[in-house]
A and B are shown apart, each in its own frame.
Chain A
Amino acid sequence: DGGITQSPKYLFRKEGQNVTLSCEQNLNHDAMYWYRQDPGQGLRLIYYSQIVNDFQKGDIAEGYSVSREKKESFPLTVTSAQKNPTAFYLCASSIQAGGRGQYEQYFGPGTRLTVT
């Protein structure tokens, strides 16, 4: 999976609890992304970060939060405010956010979160 690790692979939580998903990359990429994938749907963008200490909301940011304190790490917190958190979460990275023609985006193996 191209130097992007996500842990754990499976995560179970009770409703009302916050949970943090880990994403680490050793590719020296500037940009990192979080997507959510539901059955039969494409990937929907939650948050993305083009550089350390900066991040932007994607299309479905409500109920989620992120931080980007280090270049190699982009953790995602699923808060109790997220109404339907059970999903497959994918982290991705790219060299830069489209800069200098280097657009390729690579994905981690994903974390399947189940909230009951």
Chain B
Amino acid sequence: GENVEQHPSTLSVQEGDSAVIKCTYSDSASNYFPWYKQELGKGPQLIIDIRSNVGEKKDQRIAVTLNKTAKHFSLHITETQPEDSAVYFCAAMYTSGTYKYIFGTGTRLKVLA
């Protein structure tokens, strides 16, 4: 069935280093892949997204890459800062009859000062 796998579940990096989070989706018909940042006790915030007709998208220190053939996409955060510490979720939008978003299980990122 529809599934999104996300790795790793936790990630610790030194301030200034890069962080990479990877997700794999199951339905080749999926065409939209957002990334969310969730801080403790708050709702997820959309930080970047990518559509299936694009291979890479950048927004300042964050970027997302998509490999449609392998059905995986990744979030890259460069020059990490303590305020980047949060839980990050990937998602894939499925359009099989109706529009649904399937989420990964999240990655807890800790940026160590």
Interface residues of A, Cβ cutoff 8 Å to B: 1, 4, 6, 31, 33, 35, 40-45, 48, 50, 56, 58, 90, 97-98, 101, 103-110, 112
CB-CB under 8 A from A33, the residues of chain B are: 101
Known contacts A42-B105, A103-B51, A105-B46; can you find 8 more A-B pairs with CB under 8 A?
A: A1-B45, A35-B103, A40-B106, A97-B99, A98-B95, A104-B34, A109-B42, A110-B43
Query: Given A104-B34, A104-B49: A42 and B99 within 8 A (CB)?
Result: no
Q: Smallest CB-CB separation from B33: which chain A residue?
A: A103
Return the chain B residue nearest A6 by Cβ. B43
A48 and B49 CA atoms in complex are apart in Å by 21
Task: Give the residues in chain A near B89, CB-CB below 8 Å.
Answer: 42-43
Q: Which residues of B contact A (CB under 8 A)?
A: 4, 6, 9, 32, 34, 36, 41-46, 49, 51, 89, 91, 93, 95, 98-101, 103-106
Q: Whose C-beta in chain B lies nearest to the C-beta of A98?
A: B99
Per CB-CB distance, the 4 closest pairs between chain A and chain B, nearest first, are A98-B99, A107-B43, A42-B103, A97-B99
Question: Contact at B100–A45, with CB atoms within 8 Å?
Answer: yes
